[in-house]
Amino acid sequence: MTQATPAPDPLPEPEEPLDEGLIAGRPVEDRSFEMVETAVGVALGIAAGIAAGTFLAGAPGTVVGGIVGGLVGGAIGFGVGEALEQAEGDVARTTDATVPHPRPQH
């Protein structure tokens, strides 16, 4: 009598990285992109915060506006960057996104 063996699942789980040796489960390139996204957001947030703070409250508003704007801008930059990466698909989970990986059917 032949015993059936279950076929291995060829598709990785969405949270499972496709490569080994990643930084916190993500490719090093992805981590560097996150730093750039956050830095751009911080820079734009600081500029907007300084302008708004100066306009609304003068010199004290400049400092507060710059700090708050930098924090908010960094968070927005990081969030928008993550959303774009997830929309791109496998690029957020592998260093070799040139090879198409099948997506699980839901």
pLDDT in tens, 71-103: 999 999 989 888 887 777 665 566 565 666 555
- Among 68, 75, 76, smallest CA distance to 48 is for 68
**pLDDT for residue 12:** 53
Say if residues 45 and 69 touch (Cβ distance below 8 Å): yes
The owner of tokens 């911080």 is 42
Tokens coding 26: 């993500």
Say if residues 77 and 55 touch (Cβ distance below 8 Å): no
Give the whole-angstrom CA distance, residue 69 versus residue 47: 7
Q: Which amino acid is at 16?
A: E
**pLDDT for residue 71:** 94
- Give per-residue pLDDT as tens, 33-62: 788 889 999 999 999 999 999 999 898 899
